[in-house]
Amino acid sequence: MAGSPFPTLVMILGLMVALGTTALQAEARAFFVFGDSLVDSGNNNYLATSARADSPPYGIDYPTHRPTGRFSNGEHIGSEPTLPYLSPELRDQNLLVGANFASAGIGILNDTGIQFVNIIRVPSQLAFFKAYQQRVAALIGEDKTKRLVNEALVLVTLGGNDFVNNYYLVPYSARSRQYSLPEYVHYLIVEYKKILKKIYDLGGRRVIVTGTGPLGCIPAELAQHSINGECATELQRAASLFNPELVEMIKELNKEIGTDVFMGANTNQMHMDFITNPTAHGFVTSKIACCGQGPYNGLGLCTAISNLCPNRDLYAFWDSFHPSEKANSLIVKQIFSGSSKYMTPMNLSTAMALDSRA
């Protein structure tokens, strides 16, 4: 897996930030994104790596009908997304909208996704964020830059690759021999907390942190481990251990800081809603990927010669690992207005309303 839940989340949330908050605040917020292929908007296009989505049919439903580098079939709302940090177009006024630092294949740990070689791991993403602020300061001054960053919305999506592309990458992997699964999950949470603290130290004050999706239910895992369409038990166990610990860590971190900076998104439950009852959400299947080959279209990459469904909106999964744009839109709705079942300690609309009164 080059990443772990949602590429169009960046574009949809970006539009909410750019347009939706203007009803609550005098000016729009910037938007910053850290993470893996679920939120990479094209940084890996500029890197010599196999973790890329720059070939058809990726982008088939994008306004240009061309691949953009997002691991998606398109987008949900037609808007100009936050640009990848490596894009040459990220300069001058475009800098003030924010930046996307995400890179497909990376994880919480630096040894995750080693097979993808040249990707932007978390320390480099954070270094780019620091360099970004220096570039913006040269444009608008240090005080305005600090305000821009402090008032921005930040999205962080990490964790799935640390299981799929590390612990369970091969039988008897180095990490699986080093740690039992509960021990490994705890280690990941400790390291994740360090990353979130660094984002806070760099100025992040309103940060959405997503958990992993139901890792054992993605088409890639069904193709390898499922007989009758049941989810892969061991990867589901990993998600069931990781996500509750992540929520507790976020609560702990907010308590240490003294305010609710970090919001946890229960993307596992959001996914399970339409995996367990796809027809209720307008899908014909939550097991078969729209694009791929083999059982459940879950083997190999999505390419121009893969099986391709005619209507992407009827499929919960676009390719063997990534949700379709329609599935992503359902997830975003829960992030924006979902109950405590989905968001901790509050949803995004509540946070935006609080910020507008500050």
User: Known catalytic residues?
Assistant: 37, 319, 322
Pick the closest to residue 19 from 77, 89, 92, 84 (CA basis).
Answer: 77
Contact between residue 73 and residue 63 where contact means Cβ atoms under 8 Å apart: no
- Cβ atoms within 10 Å of 178's Cβ, excluding its own: 11
* Residue 184 · residue 234 · CB < 8 Å: no
Q: Are 75 and 12 in contact (CB under 8 A)?
A: yes
Measured CA to CA, the distance from residue 48 to residue 63 in angstroms comes to: 26
Query: Given 3-state DSSP classes, what are the helix, strand and coil percentages for the chain, each rounded to the nearest 5?
Result: 45, 10, 45
Does the CA dihedral 79-83-84-87 come out positive or negative? positive
Are the C-beta atoms of 338 and 316 separated by less than 8 Å? no
Beta strand extents in 3-111 (DSSP E only): 31-35, 98-100
One-letter amino acid for residue 51 of the chain: A
Q: By three-state DSSP, how is residue 301 classified? A: coil
Would you tell me how many other CB atoms lie within 10 Å of the CB of residue 140? 14
Instruction: Provide the Cα torsion 186, 216, 117, 114; round to 10°.
Output: 40
Q: How far apart are CA 163 and CA 169, in angstroms?
A: 7
From residue 59, give the alpha-carbon distance in Å to each of 64, 75, 330, 349: 8, 8, 19, 29
Euclidean distance between CA atoms 76 and 62, whole angstroms: 9
